Amino acid sequence: MDFMYSSTRDSKAKATASMAILKGLADDGGLFIPERIPALDVSLAKLAQMTYQETAYAVMKLFLTDFTEQELKSCIQAAYDSKFDTAQITPLVNAGCAYFLELFHGPTIAFKDMALSILPHLMITAARKNKVSNDIVILTATSGDTGKAALAGFADVEGTKIVVFYPKNGVSPIQEKQMVTQKGANTHVVAIHGNFDQAQAGVKQIFADKELEKTLQEHGFQLSSANSINIGRLVPQIVYYVYAYARLLASHTIAEGEPVNVAVPTGNFGNILAAYYAKQMGLPIRKLICASNENKVLYDFFQSGQYDRMRKFVLTSSPSMDILVSSNLERLIYRIAGNDAEKNAAYMKALAEDGKYEITHQMKQELADFYGNYTTEQETAQVIRDVYEKDGYVIDTHTAVAKGVYDKYRSETKDDTVTIIASTASPFKFTRSVMHALDPECASTADFELVDELSRIAGVKVPQAIEEIRSAKVLHHTECTAEEMPDVVKRFLGIGDAMENLSQI
């Protein structure tokens, strides 16, 4: 029988891998979770000889068991190709007493590309397998990185359309320019008059609208999500931890079976959960170092066993980690509750209703694999300066949070295990904050001049993703209020008389 997934909130809600990818979220609001974590079935020595694509197949086939070999391999080939600017896909760079795993060599220069360049192919294959003939309409609310990576991934993918909503004044100028210049006849980008939470709530409301669902169905459409809780985003993220370990082995940095630590700048808990799954599969990982910025909900959770989202939201220089509800943590809670959907559902209910929950002492014991800490804004900037001054290597703000937390871990524990730091964005994506850390005097310089300055200082060519938007034409002009979002979606799909009441399309 096919490997089955079940919901973290109802063990009876089951799905195949392809159904789980198509649906994204279980009907009860829970996340799909594999019934067991499969063990790696090739040796580490063998992995050390594999390409990224071969490693991807060796890992993903264990989770996506209802995909045929040919289906999965063709998804992998279509995703990890010359869209990445290096054949290694995720190179490892030795600096500052650690190994930076550069996850930003894809089309939008942030690590979201690792999963979003394959998700569209997995989704189309899953639709075919499940005899879905509707076009899949992806709806996404974004605070910056996910939107552009999803647009790039789904652009011109046959059988799909994508609509991205972003808060008009809530993303960086480079992030906005990246989105509104997106090509592809099936892509739509909309600025919301409101903040990210309103955009997100609007999307959730559209998903819950049964009448709209029926109308879409009649016109041959169905909705899906490219959100990071989709198992089709989580599984591809396990691959690069296995690949990084294999590269360290191939270069004789470590011996076969020697453990490594992994440090991850964390927001929604997706990337570090993938590392945790890699460990469960048998990859020799000692500590999972969970790094937060000043929104340190996870640090407090690892300290006290209490998850408490009722606090002030802080805007930081690592905006992709500015988050108070880490959705993917639910998968860890489910596991340490003894794979008990009922217990997990009770915690999630408490989180929704009271804003917090506290795990048992026994569950807390099971978190020994993790170390949590955070850096302040000042510390983050200092880390960027230090790494640059000591090694001439420029890291982005998110990566700097992970490096800062790793330094704290190392000085507390004296653990000198070889450590991999997930480097989640190119410094060019956050040019202004990075340059400000290196040279506080540069505040009045224009964005693209700063890009050139960063290129000079770092000795790194300006990435294609940034060059492209210097002169690119703005192709998306739509703006609307949160209430108008369903009408905007209908209009894009050519349905009904949705046009009349819209403010400024």
Ligand X SMILES: *Cc1c(COP(=O)(O)O)cnc(C)c1O
Catalytic residues: 112
Tokens of 233: 């985003």
Alpha-carbon gap, residue 327 to 438, rounded angstroms = 33
117 binds ligand X (CB under 6 A): no
In angstroms, the Cα distances linking 310 to 194, 324, 372, 498 are: 21, 8, 19, 38
Burial of 324 (0-12, 13-18, 19+ CB in 10 A): middle
265 lies in the site for ligand X, by CB under 6 A: yes
Judged by CB under 6 A, the residue of 117, 424, 431, 433 near ligand X is 424
Total binding residues toward ligand X, as defined by CB under 6 A: 17
CB 164 within 8 A of CB 176: no
Question: Does position 375 bind ligand X by CB under 6 A?
Answer: no
Question: Is 463 an interacting residue with respect to ligand X (CB under 6 A)?
Answer: no
Asked if 226 touches ligand X (CB under 6 A), the answer is no
Say whether residue 143 binds ligand X (CB under 6 A): no
Name the minimum Å distance from CB 11 to ligand X: 25
- Tokens for 376? 């302040």
102 binds ligand X (CB under 6 A): no
Comparison of 236 and 270: residue with beta carbon closer to ligand X = 270
269 near ligand X, rule: CB under 6 A: yes
What is the residue-wise DSSP string for 345-386?
HHHHHHHHHHSEEE--HHHHHTTTTEEEEE--HHHHHHHHHH
Is 270 an interacting residue with respect to ligand X (CB under 6 A)?
A: yes
Q: How many CA atoms lie within 13 A of 168 on its CB side?
A: 10
Q: From CA 144, how far away is CA 337, in angstroms rounded?
A: 33
By C-beta, is 34 or 186 nearer to ligand X? 34
Give the pair of three-digit tokens for residue 23. 């649906």
Q: Which of 16, 117, 268, 380 binds ligand X (CB under 6 A)?
A: 268
Is residue 420 at the binding interface for ligand X, with CB under 6 A as the rule?
A: no
Considering the rule CB under 6 A, would residue 271 count as an interface residue with ligand X? Answer: yes
From the list 11-19, 37-45, 259-267, 337-345, the region that binds ligand X by CB under 6 A is 259-267
Distance separating alpha carbons of residues 234 and 140, to the nearest angstrom: 17
Binding to ligand X, residues 59-88 (CB under 6 A) = none
Distance of CA 322 to the CA centre of its chain: 13
Establish if 377 lies at the interface with ligand X (CB under 6 A).
no
- Cβ proximity to ligand X: between 162 and 425 the closer is 425
Closer residue to ligand X in complex, CB, 129/398? 398
Q: Which of 117, 266, 380, 431 binds ligand X (CB under 6 A)?
A: 266
Please report where in the chains the tokens 């709209």 appear, as a residue: 212
Q: Which residues are near ligand X by CB under 6 A? A: 110-112, 145, 228, 265-271, 320-321, 398, 424-425
